[in-house]
Copies of this chain bind each other. A is one copy, B any other.
Amino acid sequence: MFLCDIGNTSYHFLHNENDYKEDTKTFDPSTIKEKVFYICVNPHAKKVLKELENWIDLSWHVDISKYYPTMGIDRIIACESIENGIIIDAGSAITVDMVKEGIFEGGFIYPGLCAMKQTYTNISSALDYPFNFELDLDKMPKNSADAISYGYLKTLHCEVMSKSMKLFLTGGDAKKFASIFPHAKIDETLIFKGMKKIMKKADLC
């Protein structure tokens, strides 16, 4: 049995406790003959997978009434994986979602690392610096590189920390953000925990 979380750039698999990724551009899902339980936010992959009988869309088994209509199924499943805390999913966008006693309490969307880097460069070539994840978050900066790093990282940090909740870091850039959220639990396979929980509830495993 496989679990798979499909985004815009990759198929993220879990198989026998090993996770690995395949590129959405090159991977052919019909090559897998075993049962695959999946969630998918990629419109093209969605169409292809509908035709494959061994690929089972888990989104049908989630009570989405607790969430909002345009919320991505990946965010919803991640929220299902925890009882209390804030999930920071650092990908092309950074989604920040809050769960209290198993109830989704809202969330927000912040630009991901690459997108924000490009934003500063587009405003002015004078702001074309890499982000400094080691900057001192307790001190207003006095140089350009830290001035943009602080603008990007400290604002997010301030809002997240103001909630005083347990933090879960997931997504492709989770490790980078760990340096500004040192007490967060890094779990790059959080989504699979949510999927397993859904499967258990729906008697699928």
Contact = CB atoms under 8 A, between A and B. Distances in A.
A30 B144 CA distance: 33
A123 B112 contact: yes
Contacts of A147: 107-109
SS of A interface (majority): mixed
Contact of A108 (B92, B109, B112, B140): B140
A21 to B, nearest CB: 20
A177 to B, nearest CB: 14
A93 B120 CA distance: 8
Name which of A120, A150, A152, A159 has the most chain B CB atoms within 10 A of its CB: A159
Contacts of A155: 110, 155-156, 158-159
Nearest to A143: B68
A67 to B, nearest CB: 8
A150 B105 CA distance: 14
Assembly of this chain: how many copies? 2
A160 B153 CA distance: 13
A122 interface: yes
A11 to B, nearest CB: 18
Interface in A138-162: 139-144, 146-148, 150-152, 154-156, 158-159, 162
B93 A140 contact: no
30 contacts: A70-B126, A70-B144, A71-B144, A92-B124, A93-B120, A93-B127, A106-B141, A106-B142, A107-B141, A107-B147, A108-B141, A108-B146, A108-B150, A108-B151, A109-B120, A109-B127, A109-B144, A109-B151, A110-B151, A110-B155, A111-B116, A111-B151, A112-B123, A116-B119, A119-B119, A154-B159, A155-B155, A155-B158, A155-B159, A158-B159
